[in-house]
Amino acid sequence: MPRRVDPRKKKRDWRWYASFGLNALVALSMVLGTVFLFTGAPAPRAAPPPTIELPTLAPTVPTNVAPTPAPATPTPQANADYQFAVAGDSRDGDVIYRRLLDRVASDGNAFLIHTGDLVPSGSKEDWLNFRELMKGFTLPFYPVPGNHEIRIGKITDYLQYSGATAVHYSFDRGPIHFTFVDSSVGSLMDYELAYLDRDLAASNAPVKIVSVHHPPFDPAGGSHVMAGDAAKFIKTMTERGVKYVFAGHIHCYEEGERDGVKYIITGGAGAPLTCPPAAGGFYHYVRVTVRGQAVTTEVVKIE
């Protein structure tokens, strides 16, 4: 009987080792596949977001809009004589108004007061055209709003484009206290009347001048005047010692007096005239001369 050989002691050749290694790799791959199936492969590490260089943009500046002329408060000069101009109702009369501006500047006036109706309706186009008209006019400019400024526009548009710093304001120059109020709605609202009364009461100037668009009465007897409580306005002028009231709205030159207050209507800065020449129906501005505490006025016609 042949001798039995113990298989554990049987010599193993290369094929056995190769088979064992192959089986081990298969088993390992099965184990790893099972692990990845239930846990998922690790997510790749996110790359940092790319850095984006933003271009530097220059500010856009419109080239067709002139700077808004801002009123400059005159330096008080107690003893200096000077003169200034007052005009109103320039809307719809660009040619005349441009002539008037040139004449005001060349006549030696210190500044120009405008009694309202600067533009036809208050549209953006109206105001851009007004800016073009004002180009080259370097004197301080003090307007009040008229009813045409808010026909389709807003009072904020008037403030943006007219050069006025507020709907009502005041300043002193020499012996004169100047007050400007808003009657654009056709009358002075209660808060405007209250401002006017407070402002005038607080001033000790020997001469007080008020500018407003709508006159409280028509010296010629017409009805194209301030609505509402015009009598209260007139009473305030008298009680607060006002010397002159300048208004517009009526397209001609007129003047009158109530209780020692002189009312001057100057509405001939370009708008269609509504009076015959003999009754003040001509284009003009009013030149006001100040010598000490004496104030005189003169009508300057614009041909």
Q: Please give the single-letter amino acid code of residue 190.
A: D
H or E stretch at 179: strand 176-180
Q: How far is CA 118 from CA 42, 128, 130, 199, in A?
A: 76, 12, 8, 25
Residue spans of the chain under pLDDT 70:
1-79
In a domain, 43, yes or no: no
The confidence score (pLDDT) of residue 70 equals 41
Q: Which of 243, 180, 174 is nearest to 207 (CA)?
A: 243
Within-domain flag for 266: yes
Asked if residue 134 belongs to a domain, the reply is yes
3-state secondary structure of 148: helix
* Domain total in the chain: 1
What is the CATH number for 214? 3.60.21.10
Question: Which residues, 6 or more positions from 130, have their beta carbon under 8 angstroms from its beta carbon?
Answer: 118, 119, 161, 162
Helix axes 190-202, 230-239, angle to 10 degrees: 10
Exposure class string for 40-66: b at 16+ Cβ within 10 A, else e? eeeeeeeeeeeeeeeeeeeeeeeeeee
- The answer as to whether 260 is a domain residue is yes
Find out whether 97 and 193 touch, Cβ atoms under 8 Å: no
Residue 161 within any structural domain of the chain: yes
Q: In what order do the strands lie in the sheet with 284-291?
A: 141-143, 112-114, 82-87, 284-291, 294-301
Can you tell me the distance from the alpha carbon of 141 to that of 112, in angstroms, rounded to the nearest whole number? 5
Which tokens sit at 94?
């660009």
Residue 243 lies in a domain: yes
Task: Confirm if 131 and 68 have CB atoms less than 8 A apart.
Answer: yes
Whole-number pLDDT of residue 229: 87
What's the distance, Cα to Cα, between the start and end of the chain in Å? 154
CB-CB neighbours of 167 under 10 Å: 18
Query: Which residues form the domain of 184?
Result: 82-301
Task: Give the span between the Cα atoms of 135 and 150, in whole angstroms.
Answer: 23
Look at residue 124 in the predicted model and tell me its pLDDT. Answer: 96
